[in-house]
A = this chain, B = another copy of it.
Amino acid sequence: MSVKVISVLENILQANDQVAAANRARFAAAGVYALNIMSSPGAGKTSLIEQTLRALAPQVRIGMINGDTTAASMDAERGARAGAASVHINTGGNCHLEAHMVRQALDALDLSALDLVIVENVGNLVCPAGWDLGVHARVVVASVTEGDDKPYKYPTMYRGAEVLLLNKIDLLPYLDFNTDYFLQGVRLLNPAVQVFPISCRSGEGIGAWAEWLRARALKHG
């Protein structure tokens, strides 16, 4: 008799990919460009979204989907205050967003009134990397305060990104951060990734990032 093997994780990931494809079709039908922003806790995802809203709104109409492990919706509220149509997802302790969570959040947004949806993932440099949400670009925010060795230690996250934002560069004078060593690690894993050095605090570099994003968001509209 043969043995039937049930690969639970594989089945879960396949189901996720199907929902992600449906999310992707929904974005396409509405002419909306979508981002999945991932980082360590405290690398500056919410500050980046605030700065991006400041640079692009109201010309670019932006929705924000914010994932957190609890009911604390302070980040979603920051997005709303900055002018985004904002939805909070409480993952109930889950360490990453999955496509079905984004699907539910999309039900709460009027996509026909938006050009861009920014998904802010749970702060975690390991788990979110494996989950397709149906977006156009995966954006990793690294902060210089985390140290220059992170690409070498969390390769999956860096390998899967289309865009890398290197944040908190205003703090470089006070750190031992070797930018060449950091970027060498990034390039080894992901030669095609688009890199923007930024500071959400001083605003440095935000313009170049915002222009990159504006072109894509309006092209899809």
A74 contact from B40, B74, B122, B152, Cβ within 8 A: B152
Q: Is A31 an interface residue (CB 8 A)?
A: no
Q: How far is the CA of A31 from the CA of B72 in the complex (A)?
A: 42
Interface of chain A: mostly helix, strand, loop or mixed = loop
- In residues 120-159 of chain A, which contact B (Cβ within 8 Å)? 122-127, 143, 145-147, 149-150, 152-156
**Contact call B153/A124, Cβ cutoff below 8 A:** no
Each complex incorporates copies of this chain amounting to: 2
- Asked, given contacts A40-B40, A171-B171, whether A68 binds B153 with beta carbons under 8 Å apart, the answer is yes
**Contact call A41/B125, Cβ cutoff below 8 A:** yes
A41 CB contacts on chain B under 8 angstroms: 40, 125, 146, 150, 153-154
In whole Å, how far is A201's beta carbon from the nearest beta carbon of chain B?
A: 8
In whole Å, how far is A120's beta carbon from the nearest beta carbon of chain B?
A: 12
**Contact call B145/A69, Cβ cutoff below 8 A:** no
**Contact call B40/A123, Cβ cutoff below 8 A:** yes
A150 CB contacts on chain B under 8 angstroms: 41-42
Q: Which of A74, A95, A122, A126 has the most chain B CB within a 10 Å cutoff?
A: A126
